[in-house]
Amino acid sequence: MEYIAQIFSSAAEAKDFPVAAINSFHWENEGFSRPESYAALFAVEGEGLHAVLWSFEDNIRCECKSRDDAVYTDSCLEFFIMPVEGDKRYMNFEVNPDGVYLSQIGEKREDRCFIKELTDLEPIITPISVEDGGKTAWGCDILIPCDFISELYSTDFRIKECRMKGNFYKCADLSISPHYGAHFPVTTAALGFHNPDCFGDIILRKV
């Protein structure tokens, strides 16, 4: 399981990057839905990682208003990434349609630390909309700057060709039509999306 993320020399050059369908749905019950959802990842030299996610979702729920609220109860798009080779900690970024986000770091589901407790630096979250075939999707662009990663992981993080681990997700715990979608399939409901053994390979490759 792998996804190729292209490296660009500037954000203006970032186009025609591979798209990953978020179409592996889990833990379904009566009334659950399968919203058409997608993600893409690309890297910009000297800037950072861009995760772009969008969903053609009906019955959008958007109640959370503050950073690190339980945005997974809303309509939510999520990106989990383990960016530094040899370090098992991964970051999770979970975003609702208003751009309100939750962000943590840790090795597993338990004992995770809110990123705001470790650094004053922040990801840059930009709400977006996508038009396709007469349909409109809500979405987000998550920019994870190099200096942000460097500070969290105590390393000099730079964009280069490498292999990372991660996954893209779509959920909505308290929607009238809940769902739990992933790009790389996950397994046990007990771990949910916090299951790094099910992360796929994300390969950064120079265009």
| Nearest partner of 177 among 54, 64, 25, judged by Cα | 25
Number of domains the chain contains: 1
Which structural domain range is residue 99 located in? 2-206
In the chain, what is the straight-line distance between the N-terminal and C-terminal CA atoms, in Å? 21
CATH number, domain at 27? 2.60.40.1190
Strand 101-106 to 200-206 pairing: unpaired
Torsion of CA 196, 199, 205, 207, to 10 degrees: -130
Q: What is the pLDDT along the chain (207 residues), one digit of tens a residue?
A: 899 999 999 999 999 999 999 999 999 999 999 999 999 999 999 999 999 999 999 999 999 999 999 999 999 999 999 999 999 999 999 999 999 999 999 999 999 999 999 999 999 999 999 999 899 999 999 999 999 999 999 999 999 999 999 999 999 999 999 999 999 999 999 999 999 999 999 999 997
Model confidence pTM above 0.85: yes
